[in-house]
Homo-oligomer: A and B are copies of this chain.
Amino acid sequence: MSKALTPSTQDYLEVILQLSENNHSTRITDIANALNITKASATQAIDTLINEKMVLKEKYGPVSLTKKGELAALKVKKMHKIIREFLVTVLQVDADIANKDACLIEHVISPQTIAGMIAFLEKGNYQISSDLNLKKAAELLKSDL
């Protein structure tokens, strides 16, 4: 049985997804740098994600997401995006601060509150950043985390 992901492991998934979008191959060092932790900690965290069948990796090799891991990562990313968007457009929070807050809030917020943000963004006449597809986001969030 797969356990609920912790905030920490969700962060790992998120950066692995991001790194794999930008770069060819994702390495322990990249992850450690992105999260500002040591390589030892990254190795350890990746091990638990491997046990959860979320990532694939051979010894000394690069890290990649499984389908399951990618889905989970996409969910986290969507949450992040919605929250950030909401903070920036509705609450007028500076982009970098909004980003940090989103990173923390995304792990603790309820589906209802996220839904509220989505609804608010949809009906309001705020400028939505182009790559935020709210319909898709709402869909994704229906599946359980």
Chain A residues packing against B (C-beta within 8 Å): 87, 90-94, 97-98, 100-101, 104-105, 108-110, 112-113, 116-117, 119-120
Contact = CB atoms under 8 A, between A and B. Distances in A.
B100 A116 contact: no
A116 B98 CA distance: 11
Nearest to A86: B91
A117 B87 CA distance: 9
Query: Chain copies in the assembly?
Result: 2
A116 B92 contact: yes
Contacts of A94: 112
A84 to B, nearest CB: 11
B113 A97 contact: yes
A105 B98 contact: no
10 contacts: A87-B113, A91-B119, A91-B120, A92-B116, A93-B112, A97-B112, A100-B110, A101-B109, A101-B110, A105-B109
A105 B92 CA distance: 18
A105 B114 CA distance: 13
